[in-house]
Amino acid sequence: MELIKLSAIASTNSYLKEICTQMQPRDATVVWAESQTEGRGQRGTSWQSEPGKSLTFSLLKRFSIFSSADHILINMATSIGVAKALDLLKIPKVAIKWPNDIMSYDKKLCGILIENQLKGKLLSSSIIGIGLNINNSKFDNLPHAGSLFTITGKNYELEAVLELLVKCILEELEKLETSSFNELKTVYEPSLFRKDEISVFEHEDGTLLNGIIRGISVEGNLCVELEDERWAEFSLKEIKLRY
């Protein structure tokens, strides 16, 4: 990888996108900020990070064979790559909370935000933003947040974790050139957080329903078995898991 290290910036994704408008950075360019002031997450949420204790970085990956409909494969491969890196670090009970948060037990360690660039109908590149809590110990008003330190009691060297994460993510992304959705699904689905457990979900309008996560569809929607044994599919905007 080609590493650009910054002391402080609003958003590594935004910075890397700006670089791409001005020049042609190499494939696998990484922008790493020690402090990120305006990190973004899914559903328009913000990502809080503690300078010097967490990783906030963005990775540029170029593609030549994917269509815009293949964005779900990139999400899945990235999540698998992060989960594998944490497994190699011996973090216990690693799971993927659909669509792309990474958990240990019931604590969120990592958030992923992927922004894709299109050329016509082709997906030309992705900017993959990663926020990973590493040596953090305080999380203001975030009861579900955790870090590698709070899970294991160990301190970690940030750059070593960064290198491992990027290596594992790139390995999974490179497999996409020869892998089908079904092959990826056999790795992704068993790692889903609360899979095959009765869970409570919240609709956009605040109403609740009980269901069991069974997997994901080819469109990337969450497949849930409802109380009457029917299966339903939900997009990211339609439903969220309460836990």
> Quick one: pLDDT at residue 46?
60
User: Where in the sequence of the chain do the CATH 3.30.930.10 domains occur?
Assistant: 2-191
What the block records as the tokens of 226 is: 């409802």
> Quick one: pLDDT at residue 17?
95
> Quick one: pLDDT at residue 183?
95
User: Where in the sequence of the chain do the CATH 2.30.30.100 domains occur?
Assistant: 198-242
Say if CB 24 and CB 33 are below 8 A apart.
Answer: no
Q: How many CB atoms lie within 10 A of CB 201?
A: 21
Q: How many CB atoms lie within 10 A of CB 16?
A: 23
> Quick one: pLDDT at residue 104?
98
What value does the mean pLDDT of the chain take?
A: 93
CA-wise closest residue to 112 among 125, 98, 92: 98
Classify domain 198-242 by CATH architecture: Roll (2.30)
Secondary structure of 54-111 in HEC code, one letter for each residue: EEEEEEEEECCCCEHHHHHHHHHHHHHHHHHHHHHCCCCCEEEECCCEEEECCEEEEE
Flag whether the pTM goes above 0.85. Answer: yes
> Quick one: pLDDT at residue 41?
58
> Quick one: pLDDT at residue 51?
77
Domain 2-191 has CATH 3.30.70.2190: no
Which positions of the chain have pLDDT values less than 50?
A: none
> Quick one: pLDDT at residue 140?
85
